[in-house]
Amino acid sequence: MNFRRDALRSGLETLAQPGCLATSFEFFSTDDIDRLKQFSLSLPMRKARPVVGAPGREVTQDFDICFPAPRQDALDDLTSMLEELIDDIAGDTDVLDTPFELNDLAVQHYPPQSRGIGVHMDSLRYRGLVFIITLDGSSRFCVCDDREGSGARVLDESPGRLGLLSAPGFAGREGEGSRPFHFVDRITGGRLSIGLRHNSKPPD
């Protein structure tokens, strides 16, 4: 646990640096990933809507999704561990402005040769941090400067790494500049991933 605490603390410090909206680092063992993969593959999936977003901000989607994913088994263990670590670390780093609960869980499965997901930013209702955990496959996760994908930079979130994205409320950030544009493409071997978020306006 100390290794994970230190890794997450270092990741949060990196993410808090000016201009940094995404980072990743080694965090999970092979056994961790295998257990999460087994649980994720057991979940019922539905086809994501092929296009979402307001006119002029449309985002293409080509994957299956389990949402909301149940907080059970390996996924509950993962979520509880991250919440406990954040609670332990955040008190003396002052990077989160709200009590942090991971109450928005999603599992996504992209088939081989999927078109991925287009350039977008996560909703403003997601506060603090977004966690991305890739369990399997070969793909490219990029952060970029705008909706056209300018300045795309690959974030290494291959299996075993924990990806962090900035969200409103992290390190005093608010508004559009608090969260990165990002996309997923080049899905040559499929992709199985988990996204964990704090939804400040959860459904009733």
Q: Decide if 159 is inside a domain.
A: yes
Q: What is the pTM of this model?
A: 0.96
**CB under 8 Å to 98, separation ≥6 — which residues?**
127, 128, 169, 198, 200
* Contact in structure between 170 and 198 (CB atoms under 8 Å): no
CATH number for the domain spanning 183: value is: 2.60.120.620
Question: What is the enclosing helix (H) or strand (E) of 190?
Answer: none
Q: Decide if 33 is inside a domain.
A: yes
What's the total number of domains in the chain? Answer: 1
Q: What percent of the chain is predicted at pLDDT more than 70?
A: 98
CA 135 to each of CA 95, 120, 122, 166: distance values in angstroms, whole numbers, following the listed order: 27, 22, 21, 21
Q: Decide if 124 is inside a domain.
A: yes
Q: What is the mean pLDDT of residues 159-180?
A: 96
Q: Decide if 192 is inside a domain.
A: yes
Q: What range does the domain containing 130 cover?
A: 2-199
Q: Decide if 177 is inside a domain.
A: yes
Q: Decide if 149 is inside a domain.
A: yes
**CB under 8 Å to 190, separation ≥6 — which residues?**
109, 110, 111, 112, 114, 136, 137, 138, 139
Q: Is the pLDDT of residue 180 over 90?
A: yes
Q: Decide if 112 is inside a domain.
A: yes
Q: Decide if 204 is inside a domain.
A: no
